Amino acid sequence: MSESAISQNLALIKEKIAEAEKKSGRAAGSVKLCAVSKFHPADSVIEALRAGQFLFGENRVQEACEKFTFIREHSQELKLPQANLHIIGSLQSNKVKKAVEIASCIQSVDRLSLLEEIEKRAAQINKNIEVYFEIHTGEESKSGYADETSFFQSLERVSKKDFPHIVPKGLMTMAPFTQDKSLIHKSFSSLRTLLEKCQKEFPEAGLTELSMGMSGDFEIAIEEGSTLVRVGTAIFGERNYQEKTL
User: What does the binding site for ligand PLP look like in residue numbers (CB under 6 A)?
Assistant: 36, 38, 59, 88-89, 174, 214-216, 230-234
Round to whole Å and give the CA distance between 199 and 228.
18
- CA-based Rg of the chain, rounded to a whole angstrom? 17
Is the Cβ of residue 168 or residue 213 nearer to ligand PLP in the bound state?
213
Is the Cβ of residue 206 or residue 216 nearer to ligand PLP in the bound state?
216
Taking alpha carbons only, the member of 192, 173, 176 closest to residue 184 is: 176
Is the Cβ of residue 159 or residue 173 nearer to ligand PLP in the bound state?
173
Is the Cβ of residue 159 or residue 214 nearer to ligand PLP in the bound state?
214
User: Considering the complex, what minimum distance in angstroms separates the CB of residue 204 from ligand PLP?
Assistant: 27
In the complex, residue closest to ligand PLP by CB: 232
User: Considering the complex, what minimum distance in angstroms separates the CB of residue 134 from ligand PLP?
Assistant: 8
Instruction: DSSP letter for 177, please.
Output: S
3 state DSSP class of 87? strand
User: Considering the complex, what minimum distance in angstroms separates the CB of residue 155 from ligand PLP?
Assistant: 21
Do residues 63 and 41 lie in contact, with contact meaning Cβ atoms separated by under 8 Å?
no
CA distances from 176 to 140, 179, 181 (A): 6, 9, 10
Do residues 199 and 185 lie in contact, with contact meaning Cβ atoms separated by under 8 Å?
no
Strands 166-172 and 209-211: parallel
Is the Cβ of residue 49 or residue 174 nearer to ligand PLP in the bound state?
174
CA 15 to chain centre: 20
Instruction: DSSP letter for 217, please.
Output: T
User: Considering the complex, what minimum distance in angstroms separates the CB of residue 24 from ligand PLP?
Assistant: 20
CA 212 to chain centre: 8
Is the Cβ of residue 26 or residue 40 nearer to ligand PLP in the bound state?
40
Is the Cβ of residue 89 or residue 170 nearer to ligand PLP in the bound state?
89
Do residues 127 and 136 lie in contact, with contact meaning Cβ atoms separated by under 8 Å?
no
